[in-house]
Structure 1
Amino acid sequence: MQRTLRSGRVHQQQRAGPARRAMPFTTARPLSSVTCSAAAAANGNGVHANGNAASHGKCPTPAQTVRTLIDIVNEGTLCTVGPNGLPVGLPVTFSMDKSGKLQLQMDAAAMEMSNLKSGSTAVSLMVQAATQPTRAVGAVSLMGKVEATADGALPLSIDNCLYFGGLDQGSRGLQVSGEEVAAAEPDVLRKAAPELVAAWNNERAEDIYRIVSDFMGVPLTEMAYAELMWVDHLGMYINTEVAGREAAEVVRVPFYRPVLDERDARSVITMASQIAWERERAYNPPLPSIFMDAAANN
């Protein structure tokens, strides 16, 4: 079966129709769930069926993902309780410093400020990116208290979080403590991930097809669809469809080692594609001439 690269994606020539897009956080399409525990069973260079070398096979912890989300998203919906006891949710912006302290930015005349002054200081802040691919990572509800300081700052003291994993479907509504989030480090690829996702989907889509094909142990000709959805320092999530299977599947492909930065991530993904290509062709590199000469002399 011939395969061609069109508009940055690989398509089987027999299949017609519009190119599919990455699934949003909420989707009506059937989706096989993926959890990090399942990814941990993988081995090799993110190679599920044929790998040789041992892999970390891990995902960032929920606390790390929450920390990453609130580091790269600066707006959310703040729910406060008014003097009448009724909750109200309104949009706010926020920032987080290096120590993990979250600061809200609100107009002094905003309804939230009035509610905080006259009602309960207990609040919840719902955070989810508005655009793909970051939106696909998930969402988090931060629960805690807001108390204005003398200098007019509005720190949100996070007591607990509810993490709704968008890609890690096994982490829906998972409770994470505020202490865990404050202690966690945001992912080193948090700023570069959208660019990496766009680059591989638009320019090197065949690499993604080949990597996930090798990982799943499925012939490349049976891969109906593959799209990179997110990259972190431990691996990547790929949305896939295999010919003959009804449900789409988000597959977690771990890196063979943690990456250090964007440049390192590009190198590791390229290497994964190369290894998959060589395995696909049962590639055996030729021996250096020095060894061939020695064999001939013997």
Structure 2
Amino acid sequence: MWVIPSEYSDAEPDPLRNFAESIVEEMNSKHAEDVHRIYSIYVESDFQATDVKMIWVDRLGFDLHVHSGEGTFAARIPFAREVSDEKGVKSSFNMMSHHAWEVEKSYAAPEFEKVELLKKVR
């Protein structure tokens, strides 16, 4: 969707912009198992992922690249609520990770609608 120049100049930058890269790096290096678990529970897909990497995070959610024998795909997973700082991101991610673990172990039922896997990246 195109925006007019005044809408662009009046827009407020995402509050996570200054530390999004460090969050992504931390999630992929220290919480890779949780990233993969969240993908497997929150994303509707017909294939087994060999690798899942978080590629970006913003106030509304995060983007993943999902690697499989079929190629690399993108997925966007929203947070349950908008976050405004690093603590909010980590809290939301931990909540999602814990819930995904409970669903995986059949301790809880999914309380969300799965997102669809997006287009093939490469």
TM tier, smaller: 0.7 to 0.9
Q: Distance in 2 between matches of 1:242 and 1:212?
A: 13
The residue that corresponds to 1:116 in the other structure is none
Matched, 1:240 2:66: yes
The answer for unaligned runs of 5 or more in structure 1 is: 1-173, 285-298
How many residues were matched structurally?
108
Match for 1:206 among 6, 17, 33? 33
Name the residue aligned to 1:261: 85
C-alpha distance after superposition, 1:150-171 (max 9, x if no partner): xxxxxxxxxxxxxxxxxxxxxx
Pick closer, same or farther for the CA change 1:217–1:279 going to 2, 3 Å.
Answer: farther
Match of 2:95 in 1: 271
Q: CA deviation at 1:241?
A: 2.0
1:200 deviates by 0.5
Q: Could you give the per-residue CA deviations for residues 169-210 of structure 1, whole angstroms, max 9, x where no partner exists?
A: xxxxx5332111111110010001011001011111111101
Any stretches of 5+ residues in structure 2 without a counterpart? 109-122
In 1: Cα distance, 2:23 partner to 2:92 partner: 12
Secondary structure at the residue paired with 1:257?
Answer: coil
Q: How many angstroms does 1:240 deviate by?
A: 0.3
For residue 270 of structure 1, report the CA deviation from its aligned partner.
1.0
Q: How far apart in 1 are the matches of 2:63 and 2:57?
A: 7
Inter-partner Cα distance in structure 2 for 1:217 and 1:182: 37
CA distance in 2, matches of 1:186, 1:229: 19
Give the TM-score taking structure 2 as reference length. Answer: 0.81
Higher relative contact order (CA 8 A, sep 6+): 2
Identity among equivalent positions (%) equals 35
Deviations 1:117-164 (A, max 9, x none): xxxxxxxxxxxxxxxxxxxxxxxxxxxxxxxxxxxxxxxxxxxxxxxx
More helix by share: 2
TM-aligned CA deviation for residue 218 of structure 1: 5.0
TM-score by length of 1: 0.34
Q: Which runs of 4+ in 1 moved over 6 A?
A: none
1:178 aligns with 2:2: no
Matched with 1:227 is: 53
Q: Which has the larger radius of gyration?
A: 1
Letter matched to residue 64 of structure 2: I
Per-residue CA deviations over 1:232-265 (Å, capped at 9, x if unaligned) read 000000000245xx23111000111101211111
RMSD: 1.9
